[in-house]
């Protein structure tokens, strides 16, 4: 259990450092939007439905991998919608960076049995 929290904290720290460097290098300002808000109605409702499916799956699924796959799908949908409707803001690049880190986090965690 302690190794999981150390792994989680180390991975989060590395991600935040990479995100800060990427934002500075690519000139992407930090944007904070409270709640689940998308660029349009399809984006907003797609995120809401995706998160609802994730939470239902996380509660009723015996596997920890299925909710992770749903999170990857939500993240991919979010990045695609950002790219399609807000290319000038380039926030989709940060979303894809986060998606890549999440996939690496899950892969390394399952490989070395570091996840709970």
Q: Which tokens is 29 given?
A: 């300002």
pLDDT single digits (tens) 68-84: 999 999 999 999 999 99
Kindly report the pTM of this predicted structure: 0.90
The Cβ-side half-sphere exposure at 17, using a 13 Å CA radius, reads 6
Cα 66 to the chain's mean position, in Å? 15
Q: Which tokens is 44 given?
A: 């907003």
* Contact by Cβ (8 Å): 50, 73: yes
Ranges of H-type helices in 61-90: 65-85
Average pLDDT over residues 73-98: 94
pLDDT single digits (tens) 9-39: 999 999 999 999 999 999 999 887 766 777 7
- Where residue 68 falls (left for φ over 0; alpha for ψ -120 to 50; beta otherwise) is alpha
């Amino acid at each position: 259990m302690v190794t999981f929290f150390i792994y989680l904290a180390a991975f989060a720290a590395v991600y935040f450092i990479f995100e800060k460097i990427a934002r500075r290098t690519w000139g992407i300002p930090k944007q904070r939007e409270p709640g689940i808000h998308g660029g349009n109605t399809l984006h907003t409702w797609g995120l809401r439905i995706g998160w609802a499916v994730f939470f239902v799956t996380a509660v009723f699924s015996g596997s920890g991998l299925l909710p992770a796959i749903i999170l990857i799908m939500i993240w991919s949908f979010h990045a695609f919608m950002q790219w399609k409707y807000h290319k000038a803001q380039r926030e989709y690049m940060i979303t894809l960076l986060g998606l890549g880190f999440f996939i690496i986090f899950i892969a390394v965690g399952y490989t070395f049995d570091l996840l709970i």
